[in-house]
Each structure stands twice: as C-alpha cells, then as structure tokens.
Amino acid sequence: MAEEAILGYLQHNEEIKDSGEFAAERNIDHNEIVNVIKSLHGFRYVDAEDIKRETWVLTDEGKTYTATGSPEFQLFNAIPPEGIPKDELQKKLDPSVFKIGCAQAAKNKWVEMGKQLVTRKVQNVDDKVKGLLLQIQQGQGIGSDDIKALKARKLIVPQTWKGYSVRKGPNYAPKRKQVVTDLTRENFQSGEWKELEFKEYNYSAKGAPLEGGHLHPLLKVRAQLKQIFLCMGFEEMPTNNFVESSFWNFDALFQPQQHPARDSHDTFFLDAPSTTKRLPEDYVERVKQIHETGGYESRGYVYDWKREEANKNLLRTHTTAVSSRMLYQLAQKPFAPKKYFSIDRVFRNEAVDRTHLAEFHQIEGLVCDRGLTLCDLIGVLHDFFSHLGMTKLKFKPAYNPYTEPSMEIFSYHEGFKKWVEVGNSGMFRPEMLRPMGLPEDVQVIAWGLSLERPTMILYGIDNIRDLFGPKVDLGLIKKNSICRLGIN
Ligand code: PHE
C-alpha cells in the first residue's frame, strides 16, 4: 500500500515534500513509508533526501499528566471552597503531586498557603500544562516560552525526527517491475529471456559469513608441536588406545605394584573388560623377575609380584605406556636408533579444580640410542623448548620410578617474570630397558609435558574449564587466533 501510494503520487506530482506529513495524511505508519522509500531508492525508482527535525516528546511524567491533569490542577481541585489544613490536604494527594502541586499552584497565585489553612485565591483555574502536553502529543507546535517551561519541569524531551523528501528517480515507473534473479531453462525455451529485466548485482553487499570448521586451541597447539617434532626428525607413536593394561602402564615401567599411583584413588580401572587378554609371556616373566629379585646389577623391589595386578585394565595415566610398548617392539628387532614422540589424551582420578581435570593431553618425546648421557637429554630439551620460544631452562632433580636420573624442567616466563614448571624428564632405567631386550649400551632419554599448560599460557586462559569440557564457549573457539608458538 505504501509503495503504491508513493509511486502513484509521484506520477502526477513533482515531489513528496515530507514523508512524515505524507504518512499522516494517508494514515500509513511512517516507518513503513520509510522502508519503502529506502527500497525504491535502492532500485533508483526514487531519489530521496534526508529531512531532520527537532521535535519534542512527552516523558513518562508528562504522559501521566495528560490523563490526571497537572499536579497544580489536582491540588487546586482538592481544596474545598472553605479551605483545608495543610496536613489534611497532603493526605488527599500523592506525595509528589502534593509537593509539585504546592509549588506550582503558589507560583500561579491560585492558592494561599496560610499558617492554618490552604485556601483558593481564584474561583476557577484552567489546566494549561495539560493542554500544552496534549498539543505536543498530537504533533502541534507550541510557543518557545512554553517549551522552555515544560522542558525545565522535565515533562518533555527533544527528539530528532528523521524523514525524507522524495522525487522521481532515473528508473521511475508508476509500478515496480518484477526483476529476475535467476535465468532458467524455461526462460530460454519460451524466448522470455529477451524481455526479462535482471536484478543488478550489489557489489557492496556483505556476503554470508563463511562457516568452516574451527579448530580447538588444543588442536592448533598440537599441530604446531607435531611440526616441531617432525622437524627434529621424530616419528609419531600410535596412541590410539585409551584403554591400557596395568602391565604396560606400570609394570613394564618398573613401577612397583604397591605404588600409590596404582591405587583406584589415582587411576581409573575398567569394570568391563576388567583384565587384558594377551601379554608377551616371556617378557612378563622377565618383568616379574626384575620387580621381585632384580637383575642387571639391580636388587629389584623384593616383593611378591602378582600377575592379576598386571592384568588389570585401566585408562592410561600417561603416554609413557605407549613408549614402553614401542621400546619393547624396538627391542624385538636388531637394534636401530629411534626418535619417537606422541601427543594424546591421558586420564587421572583427580579432584577437578581450575587447573586440573580428570583428563588431559600429554606431549612425550624420547630418543633411543647407544651411549646417550644426561647431557644429551639437556641438549635435546634445550633444542625442543627453544622451538616453543622457551630459551631459558633450569633443571631440578626429581623422581620417577622409571627414570634415573630424573629432572623437572623449568622455563623462565618473561610475561609472568618467574620460573614455571614445564615438564618432567629422565633417562629410562636399565630395570625397564634390559628386560625388554635392548642391548646393554643402549640408553633412552625421554621427557613429557602437558599440552594444556602451554596452550593456556599462549591463549591467556587461566581456568582449564574454559579450555576443555562442557563449559567451553564455542563462540571463542571460532574467534581464537591461529596459534604461533615461539612468539611471546
Ligand atoms: N610420564 C611422565 C608424567 O606423566 C612424564 C615423563 C615422560 C617423565 C618421560 C620422564 C620421562 O609426568
């Protein structure tokens, strides 16, 4: 309706001077008229020019008085001809009406505020304020002094009114033509294509946002770490088994069966299948021996090693379980040096807090060769961590059942201005390597760290639950920057 009105009017008239008046005369909502003008303008049916006008609109208080009358009028009407004590008058009126009413009525000289009585000074009054407010509401102009007074009483506020003046545009037609957006087979067959008018391309329209996959920060950092390992000549170990036997997770690593980490308080054991089916029997026998009575110059732990304990299935507590399988396999062939790495998930029965979850990711690297020393480990660690942008490292003696010596790795964080623990490392014990069948002069240096720690530092996340788990904000995953290690 609005479109017909505009195009129809322009057919016989030069100009629509004011879209506001045009809308009011035809009883069409001004917003609707504005939308149609914009659309017609887009297709050049019309040319439009902005009009801005300062107008006045009623505040909520102003609107109230159009119904109730002004406070001074209400107050005047509440005074009987014989007058009324002030406190009684007050009781008859709303507190704000009383307060404003007294002030305004006195100013207008409508009432006498006597010591005992409030009395009328005039017979009749005219509620001018209400009248003015109604006029403004109806869009009529009022005098500037009245505007000033109403504005001072906060009964009206200014508002900018926006509308258009409209003339015929270069593509003007009394009726909008249907423009075509697609050319079809039928258009060709019927010959209709010759007459069709096509919608023009809008080169400045924004395209639909591209929605591709979005990588989680952990995956981005993982990809970069993988690249670092590959550049350093490491091969990736297959980590695609979350379920592991206690044997590979603990026993093969010379971790005694009564070690506290093997308790259900620390490790998730499986109910079904609760035990592993297959283990390499001759190797199991050698592992049992090293635990019970030792060998290769070790005294062992001197306890009764139980096969049932080794058979128990669990969710692997570290990726070193994978390393132990890989080293065992390596030992089954003529020896060749190897550099291996893995980055995957591990599980621990931990109390969940802002820095701990019951599952996380471990990064692990190992080098297996003849004659390796602690210096080689320190050298490899410097090399590896420098790729992550961590060039200042310190090492602190530590303990792992499967490494000797063992070292915790600290890196100086320039942002935090302090040393932060970034990993754990060591040389695998002969008690672990020799039963596997690795030659006597072969050493393995290894280290491990979590993927979450560097990711949180890189992305400035301080609560692990914002990084991983059900509370993660998917919007953030989409917006996160690409990860670039080494720039900190
Ligand atoms: N497995 C160790 C951990 O869970 C890390 C580690 C790996 C330590 C290799 C020494 C050697 O913390």
Q: Is the pLDDT of residue 487 over 70?
A: no
DSSP lists the bridge partners of residue 39 as none
| b/e 323-336 (16+ beta carbons within 10 angstroms → b) | bbbbbbebbeeeee
Nearest CA to ligand 1 atom 6: 448
3-state secondary structure 259-307: CHHHCCCCCCECCCCCECCCCCHHHHHHHHHHHHCCECCECCCCCCCCH
Which one, of 104, 137, 343, 318, lies nearest residue 230 by Cα?
343
Q: What is the average per-residue pLDDT within 439-454?
A: 94
Query: What is the whole-number distance in angstroms between the Cα of residue 446 and the centre of ligand 1?
Result: 7
pLDDT tens digits along 255-309? 999 999 999 889 999 999 999 999 999 999 999 999 999 999 999 999 999 999 9
Element (DSSP H or E) covering residue 397: strand 393-400
Q: What is the pTM of this model?
A: 0.60
Q: What is the average per-residue pLDDT within 94-118?
A: 91
Query: What is the whole-number distance in angstroms between the Cα of residue 320 and the centre of ligand 1?
Result: 6
Q: Is the pLDDT of residue 59 over 80?
A: yes
Percent of residues, the chain, with pLDDT higher than 90? 73
pLDDT of 488 reads 39
Query: What is the whole-number distance in angstroms between the Cα of residue 152 and the centre of ligand 1?
Result: 76
Query: What is the whole-number distance in angstroms between the Cα of residue 488 and the centre of ligand 1?
Result: 26
d(CA 160, CA 483): 48
Q: What is the average per-residue pLDDT within 75-93?
A: 91
Q: Is the pLDDT of residue 35 over 70?
A: yes
Report which ligand 1 atom has the smallest distance to the Cα of 318. 4
475 vs 227: which has the higher pLDDT: 227
Q: What is the average per-residue pLDDT within 70-74?
A: 94
Query: What is the whole-number distance in angstroms between the Cα of residue 424 and the centre of ligand 1?
Result: 5
- What is the best residue among 239, 359, 364 to mutate for testing ligand 1's pocket, by most ligand atoms within 8 Å of CB? 364
Query: What is the whole-number distance in angstroms between the Cα of residue 341 and the centre of ligand 1?
Result: 12
What lines the ligand 1 site, CB under 6 Å? 318, 320, 364, 400, 403, 424-426, 446-448
Q: Is the pLDDT of residue 209 over 80?
A: no
**CB contact at 8 A, 443 and 427:** yes
176 vs 347: which has the higher pLDDT: 347
- What is the best residue among 234, 266, 318 to mutate for testing ligand 1's pocket, by most ligand atoms within 8 Å of CB? 318
Number of residues that this document lists for the chain: 488
Query: What is the whole-number distance in angstroms between the Cα of residue 416 and the centre of ligand 1?
Result: 25
Q: Is 53 helix (H, G, I), strand (E, B) or coil?
A: strand
- Residue 463: which pLDDT band, with cuts at 50, 70 and 90? confident
The Cα-based distances of 227 to 59, 124, 185, 291, 343 in angstroms read: 65, 93, 52, 38, 12
The Cα-based distances of 50 to 17, 170, 359 in angstroms read: 11, 18, 61
Percent of residues, the chain, with pLDDT higher than 70? 99
DSSP 8-state symbol, 414: T
Report which ligand 1 atom has the smallest distance to the Cα of 366. 9
Among 138-152, 322-336, 402-416, top mean pLDDT goes to: 322-336
pLDDT of 486 reads 61
